[in-house]
Amino acid sequence: MSDDRSRRFMEMLTAHQRDLYSYVTMLLAGDSAAADVVQDANVDLWSNMDRFDFDRPFLPWAMKFAFNRVLAHRKARGRSRLVFSDEFVQALSDDCVNDPVKADDRLTALRECLGQLPPGQRQLVTQRYQGSLSVKAIASRTGVTANGVSAQLYRLRKALAKCIETRLVGADGGYAS
């Protein structure tokens, strides 16, 4: 591998780190392991550098490696911890690969919507999806039944999805999908 090719590849990889992180964070619904998943994807990308065609866009190619790492991470954590179905994550990934800027907009909208939640609701979402606590553990901590916690999380996910879509429509004059 030539030094020039390695340098060009490293420049592209570095330039798209934020995009890859946003993409992985979105697919993992804010899971705190996103940085580790991106790092694993970076290792895969680097080891496959010789397969990259410099005449093609880098980001969609890189997103395929990141997507595979997301799937591996989800499988390793077990189905009980999954927030979204594999089909939904695949559809989300396809949407991001087709329009990476939109993925970053969605992540920004998610952060803004989370910021608007009352503190107790924001804490519930954070414990479950960033702290990776089980519904049972949250129920035990809060004194609410596991079914009650699940119902709250379901309502919060629906409210966050609606908030995100509303923000995206408002921000771009109507490109929500």
Kindly report, residue by residue over 102-152, the tens digit of the pLDDT: 666 777 788 888 889 999 998 888 888 766 678 888 889 889 998 888 889
Q: Is the pLDDT of residue 94 over 80?
A: no
Backbone angles phi, psi at 82, to 5 degrees: -70, 140
41: nearest Cα among 16, 78, 5: 16
Rounded to an integer, the average pLDDT of 76-103 is: 62
- Residue 65's contacts (CB-CB under 8 Å, 6 or more residues apart) are 41, 44, 45, 48
Q: Which domains does the chain have, with CATH numbers?
A: 1-84 (1.10.1740.10), 99-177 (1.10.10.10)
Per-residue confidence (pLDDT) for residue 126, from 0 to 100: 80
39: nearest Cα among 64, 65, 58: 65
Q: In the chain, what percentage of residues exceed pLDDT 70?
A: 77
pTM value is 0.52
Task: Assign 166 a pLDDT band (cuts: 50, 70, 90).
Answer: confident
Supply the mean pLDDT for the chain.
Answer: 80
